[in-house]
């Protein structure tokens, strides 16, 4: 497999089951949606892995983001409306990143 996929994604989906995890990476379509309808997306890539791999990857991602923020002195915050749209309470978000 010589071809490497290089894409930019602005959306994702995560599904888990007893047998593993599926990550779908998507991008918003360049044209705006009709008023009152959700934005349309284009699926760019699907990545399948074990739950163990997903958990290890999550830890490494969190650690790398914390190191980057520490090294640069920049905190990358998400707007509350983004957290709300994802069903994440501010308390859960702050707890997850606490002590990083």
pLDDT for residue 4 is more than 90 = no
pLDDT at 32 > cutoff 90: no
More confident residue, 40 or 50: 50
Computed over every residue of the chain, the mean pLDDT equals 92
pLDDT value of residue 16: 97
Measuring CA to CA, how many Å separate 4 from each of 1, 7, 16, 45? 8, 10, 25, 12
Domain ranges of the chain: 1-49, 51-100
Tell me the pTM.
Answer: 0.80
């Amino acid at each position: 497999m010589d071809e490497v996929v290089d894409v930019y994604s602005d959306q994702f989906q995560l599904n888990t089951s007893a047998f593993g995890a599926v990550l779908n990476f998507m991008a918003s379509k360049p044209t705006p949606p009709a008023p009152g309808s959700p934005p349309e997306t284009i699926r760019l890539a699907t990545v399948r892995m074990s739950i163990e791999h997903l958990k290890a990857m999550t830890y490494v991602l969190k650690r790398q983001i914390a190191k980057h923020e520490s090294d640069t002195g920049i905190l990358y915050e998400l707007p509350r409306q983004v957290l709300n749209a994802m069903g994440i309470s501010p308390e859960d978000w702050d707890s997850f990143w606490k002590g990083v």
